[in-house]
């Protein structure tokens, strides 16, 4: 009996978990959840009454786990692969968890608020959300001046969080032209095979993204070179 991931291929927090699964070639079954479908929503609510994805079901250990970071930590312990995504060393692990939280709270959250505003046509004041993204970009550009990956020498859970967060955020607030360290980091992320696979699978759904017109053409068509 394999793991089952309850998710949607367009959702950024689901992308984060998919990257972790693909990094280690972890076997799992897919259950795409359409929140607009009553039966799908009921199925998800039965697993996690908060009603948000991703959720992973592990029949072997009889557990249903929500929350992207918790899922990745669980996979790293119960289904480890060749790429440890949370280091064993406590200090290094703390750094990974810090930057994982950074991307979730200060990139993902304001990004999702901006997307939600357009999706629901509420026309709210989003200056604070955009300012948060700009602040996050500045912090990241300074941090990545002397680093390859954001939290440790090796690709980690924090980079799993970074890839989808930055992918969508830059469609709302582009990186400043002089943030070359951040731009170089983003290019390393999008060249990672695990994230390329996520993008390939999300591509048929991009037309449903409220800011689809801002997605770069290179992500809208597969590279046939």
Q: How do residues 129-144 score in pLDDT, each as one tens digit? A: 999 999 999 999 999 9
Question: What is the location of CATH 3.40.30.10 in the chain?
Answer: 3-78
Q: Which residues contact 118 (CB under 8 A, 6 or more apart)?
A: 210, 211
The CA distance from 117 to 130, in Å, is 12
Say whether 218 sits in a helix, a strand or coil: helix
What is the rounded (10 degree) CA torsion for 177, 181, 185, 186? -10
Tokens standing for residue 221: 């068509």
Tracing tokens 């809208």 back to the chain, one arrives at: 220
Tell me the pLDDT tens digit for each residue of 63-110.
999 999 999 999 999 999 988 999 999 999 999 999 999 999 999 999
Q: Which residues contact 32 (CB under 8 A, 6 or more apart)?
A: 7, 8, 9
Percent of the chain with pLDDT over 90: 95
Q: What is the pLDDT of residue 225?
A: 46
Tell me the pLDDT tens digit for each residue of 163-187.
999 999 999 999 999 999 999 999 9
The CA distance from 209 to 11, in Å, is 10
Tokens standing for residue 205: 């759904």
Fold of 3-78: Glutaredoxin (3.40.30)
Confidence of residue 221 (pLDDT cuts 50, 70, 90): confident
Whole-prediction pTM: 0.95
Question: What is the location of CATH 1.20.1050.10 in the chain?
Answer: 90-220
Q: What is the pLDDT of residue 83?
A: 87
Say whether domain 90-220 belongs to CATH 1.10.260.40. no
Total count of residues recorded for the chain: 225
What pairing do the DSSP bridges indicate for beta strands 55-58 and 28-32?
unpaired
Q: Is residue 218 pLDDT above 60, yes or no?
A: yes
Q: Which residues contact 1 (CB under 8 A, 6 or more apart)?
A: 59, 60
Q: Is residue 224 pLDDT above 90, yes or no?
A: no
Q: Is residue 198 pLDDT above 90, yes or no?
A: yes
Tokens standing for residue 54: 């991703």
């Amino acid at each position: 009996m394999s793991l089952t991931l309850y998710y949607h291929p367009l959702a950024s927090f689901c992308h984060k978990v998919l990257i972790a699964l693909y990094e280690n070639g972890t076997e799992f079954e897919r259950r795409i959840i359409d929140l607009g479908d009553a039966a799908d929503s009921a199925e998800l609510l039965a697993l996690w009454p908060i009603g948000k994805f991703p959720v992973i079901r592990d029949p072997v250990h009889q557990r249903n786990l929500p929350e992207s970071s918790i899922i990745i930590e669980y996979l790293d312990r119960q289904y480890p692969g060749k790429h440890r995504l949370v280091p064993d060393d406590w200090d290094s692990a703390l750094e990974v968890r810090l930057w994982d939280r950074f991307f979730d709270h200060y990139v993902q959250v304001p990004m999702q608020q901006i997307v939600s505003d357009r999706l629901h046509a509420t026309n709210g004041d989003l200056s604070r959300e955009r300012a948060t993204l700009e602040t996050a970009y500045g912090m990241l550009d300074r941090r990545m001046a002397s680093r390859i990956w954001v939290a440790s020498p090796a690709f980690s859970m924090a980079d799993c969080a970074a890839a989808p967060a930055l992918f969508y955020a830059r469609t709302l607030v582009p990186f400043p032209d002089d943030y070359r360290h951040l731009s170089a980091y983003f290019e390393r992320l999008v060249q990672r095979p695990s994230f390329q696979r996520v993008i390939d699978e999300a591509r048929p759904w991009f037309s449903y993204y409220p800011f689809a017109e801002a997605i770069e053409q290179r992500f809208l068509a597969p590279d046939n070179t």
